[in-house]
Amino acid sequence: MTARPAPAKAPRKAALRAVPAKAPAAKSVKPPAPAQRPAAAGAQRPAADVRATAAEPEAQKRVSGIVPRGYVPLVDIPRPPPPPRDFQLHVGDKAVHPSHGLGEVTAIEHREIGSVKGEFYILRILDNGMRVMVPRASAGAAGLRPVMTAKEADRVLETMRAREVAVDLQPWSRRFRAYTEMIKSGSPHEVAKVLRDMYRLKFDKDLSFGERRLLDQAKSLLMKELAAAKGVTEAVLQANVDEMFRA
């Protein structure tokens, strides 16, 4: 008679053990995975758009003369003239982005990116094919401007022919910082000074990594615009510039 309670207790213990055994199996582990896939897939395309427009507030600071707190510029760069009040672009027009150089408007689209909502110029940069989005309402504040005229291009070429040296600072780290400020200014004359100084060094000695970087940046920002303004190919303009510095 004492053997009957034992089987009765055994099922209760087994039942108690079965409850925690089933609890982990009932955990919803898989639902987060589908929730993450759309977010990861959807983040891929906007990433290019956000990266392209991330430079706009910084460009606006450069145009308005605002610099980060505590930063003291090494070069006194004149503020570039504002674009015309009626400055409007259409699909197929060319314009110059202060951080990327000459580009072509491939579309005008209505987008919402972060807190910015409205129409955007979709600009394809001719030097590398990169796509940049610029808010249409604040294109001038972002530094977007028309392509320079032929007369303006002649003045920029005169800046390149000048015999002066734009930056004469020691040590090299300070010169590099000053040249970088000039490149980021968005002013074609300031970029031309960097191109001029680096070209002269190139004909005198082998350029360092930093000097080659400055030369490449200046060329990508300026050469295509100068060629478009003068109505010649970039190869012809490049040959003229090379001859200019050999003289």
Residues 140 and 184 in one domain: no
Q: What is the pLDDT of residue 14?
A: 42
Contacts of 73 (CB under 8 A, 6+ apart): 67, 181
Residues 39 and 131 in one domain: yes
CB 153 within 8 A of CB 229: yes
pLDDT tens profile 144-158: 999 999 999 999 999
**95, containing H or E segment:** strand 94-97
Instruction: Give me the residues of the chain with pLDDT under 70, please.
Output: 1-72
Tally of domains within the chain:
2
Phi (first) and psi of residue 111, to 5 degrees: -135, 165
Q: What is the pLDDT of residue 1?
A: 44
User: C-alpha distances in angstroms, 81 versus 64, 126, 222?
Assistant: 11, 24, 17
Domain boundary among 146, 174, 203: 146
In degrees, to the nearest 5, what angle opens at C-alpha 244 toward C-alphas 239 and 247?
125
Give burial (CB, 10 Å; 0-12/13-18/19+) of 159.
middle
Residues 39 and 112 in one domain: yes
Residues 171 and 224 in one domain: yes
Residues 44 and 89 in one domain: yes
Nearest to 100 by CA among 62, 136, 72, 127: 127
Q: What is the pLDDT of residue 241?
A: 92
Residues 123 and 203 in one domain: no
pTM greater than the 0.85 cutoff: no
Residues 125 and 47 in one domain: yes
Q: What is the pLDDT of residue 246?
A: 84
Buried b (16+ CB within 10 A) or exposed e, 16-55: eeeeeeeeeeeeeeeeeeeeeeeeeeeeeeeeebeebbeb
Bond before 20 cis per omega within 30 degrees: no
Q: What is the pLDDT of residue 169?
A: 86
Domain boundary among 107, 124, 146: 146
Sheet containing strand 116-125, edge to edge, reads 131-135, 116-125, 101-113, 94-97, 145-146
Which residues span the domain enclosing 124? 32-146
Structure tokens at 109: 């689209």
Q: Judge whether 9 lies within some domain.
A: no
Q: Judge whether 5 lies within some domain.
A: no
